[in-house]
């Protein structure tokens, strides 16, 4: 549950996300150094519209890029892979669920990394358990 007078800012969310990313085990970790991690307060209206999402609170994280298994040497002039986290929806879920903020961010980071590798929910859960 939230404590103190102020909600964590973008820098604190990013710090927790980078810590989670640093704990991703091998063989996945060696494929992550080029992924951009970005934290924003809200998803853009354009992004929400593109995804068919009306409520910005419904999107707390997003992987943008091509999963590792779908990459090709013919891919050039492609934007780098990116994991986006959205602070305000994250904080809302944190307040509603009572899950620790670090734990919630860890879960979202693992889920988005899982998209990078094309993993199933069961495989993502196994990674989370290995990080505990």
Q: Look at residue 102 and tell me whether its pLDDT is greater than 90.
A: yes
69 compared with 110, residue with greater pLDDT: 110
SS3 119: coil
The CA distance from 28 to 116, in Å, is 10
By residue count, the chain amounts to 132
Which domains are assigned to the chain?
10-131 (3.30.2010.20)
Q: Look at residue 106 and tell me whether its pLDDT is greater than 70.
A: yes
Q: Encoding tokens for residue 62?
A: 């997003």
């Amino acid at each position: 549950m939230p404590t103190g007078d102020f909600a964590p800012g973008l820098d604190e969310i990013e710090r927790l996300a980078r810590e989670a990313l640093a704990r991703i085990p091998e063989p996945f970790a060696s494929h992550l150094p080029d992924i951009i991690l970005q934290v924003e307060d809200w998803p853009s209206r354009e992004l929400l519209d593109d995804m068919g999402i009306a409520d910005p609170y419904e999107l707390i994280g997003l992987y943008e890029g091509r999963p590792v298994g779908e990459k090709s040497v013919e891919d050039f002039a492609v934007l780098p892979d990116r994991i986006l986290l959205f602070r305000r929806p994250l904080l809302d879920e944190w307040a509603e669920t009572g899950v620790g903020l670090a734990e919630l961010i860890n879960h979202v980071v693992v889920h988005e990394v899982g998209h990078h590798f094309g993993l199933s929910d069961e495989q993502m859960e196994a990674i989370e358990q290995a990080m505990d």
